Structure 1
C-alpha cells in the first residue's frame, strides 16, 4: 500500500515533458460598458477557421481560455441580443495574451426581447461532483429535502433517518453552501421541513479540493436553494398539495429585482403536514423476548424566509448581504405496545408494556452573511465572507408507560416521565480566498477562522401524582466549544491541450472543550482536546481524445464527533432503551482515491478506494438485564472499493434516459474494550434511474425509481426501493407549469435490519408513508427575458461559501 501511495505522489509531482501553452483572456462589454454575462467565446484557427477551443464568459463578462499553443488564431464572440464579434488575427508567441475590452453592438434586427429557453438535465456529471437538478424532475415535486436525498445517486437514508453514502455515515450536509451545525434528529427535522419548491439542485461532491473544509470524510452534499437571476422585476409562486394517509400542503413565493447596480431578492415558504410510520421491533435479551409494535405520527408546520441584496460597486467589485431563517413546530410521537415473555415460553405473555408518547418541539434557525468579491480581467479574484448563525430548539418529550401483568392479583404499574431538552448553538465564521495567475497556472490561497458554541440542557422528570419531580441523577447541562483555524494553498495548471493538474494542501488546528455540568460529581465533567492536521489533495485530468477523458483525484478528510455524541450523560429514548455519549470519541480520518472515465459526456465510469482510520459507529449494548443503550465508538479501521457507472443520453428526440449504478465492497474491523470483535464485510449496490418522455403540446411524462440492495455494516440492513411516475404540462406561454405525480407505485416504502452481537438479538421492520399523490402548480410572472441593453448579471457570491462547524 505504501508503494501505491508513493506512486500516486510521484505521478502528481513529476515534470511532464509536453508542449508549452498560453492563455487568452479579456472582458466582454456592451455599449454601456457593462459586462455581458455568459458570452460564448470560440478560438478558431486563422488558416481554416476550425474550432481550437471554446468557453463561456462568467457573470461579469470576464473570460480566460487556457491551453492555447503557439500560432495564429481568430476570436469569435456571440451573445443573445448582440451582433457576433470576430477579432483580427491574434498571434500567440511567447506569453499570455491580455486583450483590451471587447464591446459588442446591439442587434437592431432582433425583436425587442429574446426569450431564452433551456432545459437542465436531471443529472449532471462532473469530475468532482454529481448534480441532481431538482427542477428538472417531475417526480421530485412535493417532496421534502430528506425524500430527495433518498432519491439522489449513491445516497441512502436509513431507518433512523441518518444519511449514508455507500452504506457509511460521514458525509457533511450543506444548505445553500453553508454546513449544517446540527445532526441526528435535529438535522432530519430540518430536512423534512424543506420543500422541493425551494430547492434548485443537490450537489454530491465526493473529493473536495483543499479550498473546502476538510470535515466530512465522505465529502459534501450541498442542497442549493433557488436563485432568480433575471433582469428586471420578476418572481414566481408555487402551490402544492400531497394526498397520502393525510393531506399535506406547501406554498412559496419568490421575488427578485435586478438592474445595473442592484439585485434585491426575497423568498417565503410555508409547509404543513403529518406523516405516518410503523415499526415492528423484536428483541431478545437474556432469554427474554420483547416484541414491540410502534405506530408513529410526525406533524410539522414550517415557515422559512430569505432576503438579500447585491450592490455592484463596479464591473470588478460586488458587495452582498443575505439573511435566511426558518421557524418550525414539530410534534412527533405515537403509540407502542410491547409484549414481554420468556424466550421459549408457550403460554401467554407475562407482561405488556403500553406507551403513548408525544414530543413537541420548536426550532428556530437564523443565518447572516456579508460577502465582498473583487475580480479583474487579469485573473485576480478575492472573496471575503463573514457569517453569523443561530440555532435554537425547545423540545419536550412526554413518556407515559403502563405495565400490565397476566397475574390478576397484580395491579398495573405506571412509570411516567418528562424530559426537557433546550438547545442553543452559535456559529461565527470569517474567511478569505484569493486567486491569481502564477507560472502559467492559477494559484489560490486563503484562511478561515470559525467558532461554534453549543449549550445543551437535559432535564429529566419523574411524574408522580401529576407532579413533575426532577431526577438529579439523570439531568445535566453540556456546553461544547469548538474553534477551527484553517489555511490552504491550491494550484491549478493546464499543459498543452490535454492535461490539467491540481494540487492542494490544507492545514487545520482544532481546539474543543466539553464541559458537563451535573447535580452530582462526575469524573468526566471536562474534556479538553487540541490537534492539528494536514489535508493534502490532488487531481490529474487527461483528455485523450474528443470522446474520452480521464480524471484521477485524491483527498484526505476528517469527520469530527458531534457534541451529542461527546455528551457522556444518558438520554432515555423510551422506557427500555437509552442513549449514552462518549467523551473520548476521536475524529475519524479518511484517505480516498478515485479514477474516472467520461465517454462523449454521456457515459461516466469511476473506480474508487477509501481507507478510514478510527471510523465511528453506533452500537447497541446491554444496560442491565432488561434495558439496552446506544453508544458511539471508534472502530480500528474500515476500507472499501466502489465502482460507479452513470449514463445520460437521449434515445430518441422525445425519449431521454438517466441511469446510474454504484457497487461497493467494504470491510469493518475492531476489537473493542468490552470484548466485542467486529469483522464485517459487505458487497452491495445502489441503483437510480429515470425515463423522460417529451410529448406533444408541452406535455412531459416521467418514470423514475431507486433501489438499495441489502448491505452490512454492524447490522444487516434489508433491501429498499421505490418507483414513481409523473406528468407535467406547461401553458400560458410556458409561464405556468402543472405537475402531477404518484410516488411509491409498487407500495415498497419499507425496510428493516437484523443484528446479533453483545448478547442482543434484534429483528426490526419499518414502513414509512411513501405512497402519495402530489399536485403542484407553479407560475412565473414579471420579466422573463434578457434585454440587450440590460444584459448584465453581475454579483457573484461563491457557490460554496464555507462555514466550519463542530
Structure 2
C-alpha cells in the first residue's frame, strides 16, 4: 500500500508541475553568446555572470567552452547585466538589457588584455561561512580561521547542526545515522575508522562541506539522518597550479597536519594529485562507575575503573588522476586513491571491585597495547559526454575499492587482593585481519527541458564482499593455546541495485525538485564455526522506494522572504561487521559483540523553513524512524556487554535557526542554534525504555576583519543534556579563538588558533535501563590545542571546467573492522 501511494504521489507531483508550468507560470528564455580575446580568438574558461540590473543580484554563472560560447537556459523575464571575467583580461560589464518575449543572442563580447604596467588590482571578496540551497547547506571551510591546521573531523564539529562524540560518532540535528561522503563518494567506514580517516584528512585540503538532511534521489538512500558530503579542493586553472599547507599543534601531545596538491593542464590532458602526511597524538582519561543490585533492587556490589588511553595515529594519503578531453563534448578520467594509516594505542586500566559495604575486595590492573595498520586502495574510471550546448549529459563511473586491516593486541590482566597482594595473571593475544572489496558501477543522464526544467535519471549496482578473521590465544606457561570463546571467522556479501528519477525546475516564485529512488538489497552472512561453535548463515532480501520532495516559494520579488519544504524517506543499513554474532573483550569486565538479527532502519523526515534576506533561516523539523540502530548495553554477572541493537522507534522534532549578521563593517556574527526533542521507545534485554527530552545547542562565531591583512575569530559552542538511546549525556561546551595574517602578496597565510581554551569540552553521562545495574562515566580529552599553520597557493593559467567523478555513493560508510 505504501509503495503504491508513494508512486501515485510522485506521479501527482510531476503532473502538477507539468500542468502549472504550461499554464500559470511565466515563460522562460535562453541567453547565449561568444567571448573572444582582443586577437579575435575564442576564449575558453571565461566566467560569465548574469545579474539583475536593478540591484546586481547574482542569478546564474556559466563558463565558456573551447569555442568561447556560453549559454543560460530557464531565464525569467526581467532586466539583466552580463559580467565577464577572465584571468589576464579586463573585466567586461554590459549595458542593461531586457529579456521579455524571445531568446537573446548576445553580440560577441571582446575582452581587452589587462595592462601589465598598471598597479596590481586587489579584488576583495570573502565567501560566507554558510550558504543555504534548496536541498542542502554548504559550509565554506576556509571562511573560519580556526579550521587552519586542523583536520576534517574537527571541521565537522564546527558545522551547523553537526555534533561529534568522543568516539567519532557523528550526529546531524540530534540524530545518529549519518552517511559521510568525500567528493560524492562514500567513505565505507565504521564510526571508529571514519573518525581516524577524517583525522588524517587535513582541513587545508577541504573546500566545502555539504549538509543534506534530505539528500536528492541521485544519492543512495542510506543514512536516516542524512548525508554529509566533504568536497576536497581541486585546482581549476591551466598551467601548473597548487597549494601547500603545513601545521603543528600542541596539546598534551603533539599533532601535525600537512598537505600538498597540484594541477597541471597541458593540451588535452589535465593531471592532478594531492598528498597528505599527518600525525595525530592524543589521550583519553576515562573513569567508569558501575553499581549492581539484586532482583529486589538492593545494592550488593560495585566496580570502578580508570582507563588512560594514549593514541598515536598516523595518516598518509595520496590521490592522483587525469582527465583526457577527447573533444569539447567528451571527457575520460582516471582517479587513483589510497591511504596508509598506522596507529598504536595503549590502554592502561586500574579497577577495583567493592562489596555491598563499599569495601574493596580486589584490584584489577590491565595493560592492552594495540598495533594496527589500516590501508586502502581504489581506482575510478569515468566518462562524460555532453550531447549539445543545452546541458544534456551522460556520465558513467566504475569504482573498485579494497580495504585491508591488520590488528595485533595483547590484553594482560593482573588480579590483586584487597591488600594489593598478587593473586593471578592472564594474557590474551589476538590477531584480527580484515579485508573488504567493493565494486560499483553507475550511469547518470541529465536532460534539461525546453521549459527550463532539469530531468535526471540513473542506475547503479554495488557488490561488496568482506572477510573477518579473529584469532585469539591464551598464553599458558609461555605457549599460545587457541581460545574458542572469542576466535571466529565471518564472511559477508551484499548486492544493492538501484535506479532513480529526479526533476527540478524554477519559476518566477516557485522552485521544485522531486525524485524517486528504488533499491533492491540482497545480503548473505556466513559465520564459520570452530570446535565450540557450529556454522551459521543468514540471508535477507528487501525492496524499497525512497521518495524526495523539495519546494521553495519566494514571497516577494526581492527574495526578502522565502519558504521551503522538504520530505524524504531514508534507510540505514547495519555496518558489515555489526552482524558478526561473536564477542571479543575490550577488557576483563567489558565485551563488545555483533548482532546477526539487526534490521535496517527506515525513517521519514520533514522540514519546513523560512529564509529572511538569505541571512537568517529558521527550520521546523520532524522525523520518525523505526528500528533505529544504536549501541545497546547489557549486564550479565560481572561482564558488561555492548553491541548494536534495534530501538523500536525514535521521534525527533524541534526548531533550528542559522543566521549571519553584519554587526559592523569589520564584524560578522554567525549563529546556529537548535532546540530539539528526541524520544525513544524500545524493549532491550527485558527492560522497557520510553523516554524523551529536549536539548538546546548553540554555536556563535565572531569573525573580525582587523585590516586588509589581519583577521581574527572568536567562537564557542554549548549543548545541554542530551538523550541518545540508553545514554544520557550531560552539558558540554567550549571556547576557541584564532588570528590570521596574509603574507607573500596575499598568496600565503599564517594562522594561529587555540581550541577549547577553558578545557571544558569534556564529556560525562549515564547509561540507563540496564537490568539490576546502573553506570556512568566521565572522560577527559586532549581538547585544548594550540595550532600554528602556514598555507600557500600558487597558480598560472586559465580557468578550467570542473567535473564530478566517482560512482560509489554509500557502501564506504558501513565498513567496520
- TM-score scaled by length of structure 1: 0.92
Among 190, 197, 219, the alignment partner of 2:204 is 197
Distance in structure 2 (CA, Å) of the matches to 1:139 and 1:90: 45
Residue equivalent to 2:656: 644
Q: Quick check: 585-594 or 189-198, which moved more?
A: 189-198
Among 70, 73, 82, the alignment partner of 1:76 is 82
Residue equivalent to 1:159: 166
Contact 2:411 2:429 in 1 (8 A): yes
How do 1:374-453 residues align onto structure 2 when only pairs under 5 Å count?
374-375=385-386, 376-406=388-418, 411-438=422-449, 440=451, 441-453=453-465
Question: Is it true that 1:657 corresponds to 2:669 in the alignment?
Answer: yes
Deviation at 1:733, TM superposition (A): 0.6
Distance in structure 2 (CA, Å) of the matches to 1:117 and 1:800: 37
Residue equivalent to 1:705: 716
Deviation at 1:365, TM superposition (A): 1.3
Question: Is it true that 1:767 corresponds to 2:780 in the alignment?
Answer: yes
Contact 1:658 1:689 in 2 (8 A): yes
Among 565, 574, 588, the alignment partner of 1:552 is 565
Question: Is it true that 1:35 corresponds to 2:44 in the alignment?
Answer: yes
Residue equivalent to 2:27: 21
Question: Is it true that 1:224 corresponds to 2:231 in the alignment?
Answer: yes
Per-residue CA distance 1:641-688 (angstroms, 9 max, x = gap): 12110111321111111110012112111234x322110101012211
Deviation at 1:630, TM superposition (A): 1.1
Among 694, 716, 719, the alignment partner of 1:683 is 694
Distance in structure 1 (CA, Å) of the matches to 2:35 and 2:532: 70
Question: Is it true that 1:777 corresponds to 2:790 in the alignment?
Answer: yes
Q: Quick check: 410-419 or 51-60, which moved more?
A: 51-60
In structure 2, the CA distance between the partners of 1:611 and 1:645, relative to structure 1 (3 Å rule), is same
Contact 2:380 2:806 in 1 (8 A): no
Distance in structure 1 (CA, Å) of the matches to 2:807 and 2:46: 20
In structure 2, the CA distance between the partners of 1:32 and 1:520, relative to structure 1 (3 Å rule), is farther
Residue equivalent to 1:486: 498
Distance in structure 1 (CA, Å) of the matches to 2:410 and 2:104: 69
2:432 aligned counterpart, secondary structure: strand
Question: Is it true that 1:592 corresponds to 2:599 in the alignment?
Answer: no
Distance in structure 1 (CA, Å) of the matches to 2:425 and 2:206: 46
Q: Quick check: 590-599 or 312-321, which moved more?
A: 312-321
Among 280, 295, 301, the alignment partner of 2:308 is 295
Distance in structure 1 (CA, Å) of the matches to 2:139 and 2:97: 42
Contact 1:12 1:540 in 2 (8 A): no
Deviation at 1:324, TM superposition (A): 1.6
1:57 aligned counterpart, secondary structure: strand
Distance in structure 2 (CA, Å) of the matches to 1:641 and 1:363: 38
In structure 2, the CA distance between the partners of 1:7 and 1:766, relative to structure 1 (3 Å rule), is farther
Question: Is it true that 1:55 corresponds to 2:63 in the alignment?
Answer: no
Distance in structure 2 (CA, Å) of the matches to 1:697 and 1:36: 29
Distance in structure 1 (CA, Å) of the matches to 2:369 and 2:499: 46
How do 1:446-595 residues align onto structure 2 when only pairs under 5 Å count?
446-495=458-507, 497-520=508-531, 522=533, 525-545=536-556, 546=558, 547-595=560-608
Among 738, 743, 761, the alignment partner of 1:731 is 743
Per-residue CA distance 1:703-746 (angstroms, 9 max, x = gap): 11222211112221111111111111112211221111111111
Residue equivalent to 1:107: 112
- TM-score scaled by length of structure 2: 0.90
Contact 2:49 2:58 in 1 (8 A): no
Q: Which runs of 5+ in 2 are unaligned?
A: 294-299
Contact 1:146 1:188 in 2 (8 A): yes
Distance in structure 2 (CA, Å) of the matches to 1:77 and 1:437: 24
Distance in structure 2 (CA, Å) of the matches to 1:273 and 1:641: 37
CA RMSD, aligned part only? 2.7
Distance in structure 2 (CA, Å) of the matches to 1:779 and 1:368: 29
Distance in structure 1 (CA, Å) of the matches to 2:235 and 2:460: 29
Deviation at 1:201, TM superposition (A): 2.5
In structure 2, the CA distance between the partners of 1:109 and 1:138, relative to structure 1 (3 Å rule), is closer
Distance in structure 2 (CA, Å) of the matches to 1:90 and 1:543: 22
Distance in structure 1 (CA, Å) of the matches to 2:567 and 2:265: 41
Contact 2:212 2:228 in 1 (8 A): yes
Residue equivalent to 1:360: 371
Contact 2:467 2:490 in 1 (8 A): yes
Deviation at 1:393, TM superposition (A): 0.8
Q: Quick check: 421-430 or 308-317, which moved more?
A: 308-317
Contact 1:373 1:797 in 2 (8 A): no
Residue equivalent to 2:290: 283
1:118 aligned counterpart, secondary structure: coil
Contact 2:470 2:488 in 1 (8 A): yes
Distance in structure 1 (CA, Å) of the matches to 2:471 and 2:523: 24
Question: Is it true that 1:316 corresponds to 2:325 in the alignment?
Answer: no
Distance in structure 1 (CA, Å) of the matches to 2:404 and 2:64: 37
In structure 2, the CA distance between the partners of 1:34 and 1:335, relative to structure 1 (3 Å rule), is same
Contact 1:374 1:382 in 2 (8 A): yes
Per-residue CA distance 1:64-90 (angstroms, 9 max, x = gap): 342524x9x676342242563759977
Question: Is it true that 1:611 corresponds to 2:657 in the alignment?
Answer: no
Distance in structure 1 (CA, Å) of the matches to 2:33 and 2:378: 35
Per-residue CA distance 1:118-141 (angstroms, 9 max, x = gap): 322222232322222222211112
In structure 2, the CA distance between the partners of 1:306 and 1:51, relative to structure 1 (3 Å rule), is closer
Distance in structure 1 (CA, Å) of the matches to 2:659 and 2:627: 35
In structure 2, the CA distance between the partners of 1:236 and 1:532, relative to structure 1 (3 Å rule), is same
Distance in structure 2 (CA, Å) of the matches to 1:403 and 1:235: 57
Question: Is it true that 1:751 corresponds to 2:763 in the alignment?
Answer: yes
Per-residue CA distance 1:183-238 (angstroms, 9 max, x = gap): 03222222222222222222211111111110111111122222112332122222
2:47 aligned counterpart, secondary structure: coil
In structure 2, the CA distance between the partners of 1:675 and 1:659, relative to structure 1 (3 Å rule), is same
1:651 aligned counterpart, secondary structure: strand
In structure 2, the CA distance between the partners of 1:652 and 1:411, relative to structure 1 (3 Å rule), is closer
Distance in structure 1 (CA, Å) of the matches to 2:781 and 2:303: 22
Contact 1:235 1:253 in 2 (8 A): yes
Question: Is it true that 1:240 corresponds to 2:259 in the alignment?
Answer: no
Deviation at 1:467, TM superposition (A): 2.4
Contact 2:399 2:806 in 1 (8 A): no
Deviation at 1:541, TM superposition (A): 1.0
Residue equivalent to 1:692: 703
In structure 2, the CA distance between the partners of 1:574 and 1:53, relative to structure 1 (3 Å rule), is closer
Per-residue CA distance 1:608-666 (angstroms, 9 max, x = gap): 1111111112111123x111111222122111112110111321111111110012112
Number of residue pairs the alignment of both structures matches:
783
Contact 1:209 1:504 in 2 (8 A): yes
Distance in structure 2 (CA, Å) of the matches to 1:518 and 1:382: 48
Residue equivalent to 1:119: 126
Contact 1:450 1:803 in 2 (8 A): no
Per-residue CA distance 1:6-46 (angstroms, 9 max, x = gap): 999778864546234123143644354353343112476xx
Question: Is it true that 1:328 corresponds to 2:334 in the alignment?
Answer: no
Q: Which runs of 5+ in 1 are unaligned?
A: none
Contact 2:399 2:807 in 1 (8 A): no
In structure 2, the CA distance between the partners of 1:372 and 1:366, relative to structure 1 (3 Å rule), is same
Distance in structure 1 (CA, Å) of the matches to 2:138 and 2:308: 36
1:186 aligned counterpart, secondary structure: helix
Distance in structure 1 (CA, Å) of the matches to 2:555 and 2:282: 51
Distance in structure 2 (CA, Å) of the matches to 1:484 and 1:83: 50
Per-residue CA distance 1:309-342 (angstroms, 9 max, x = gap): 1222233222222112110110112211001011
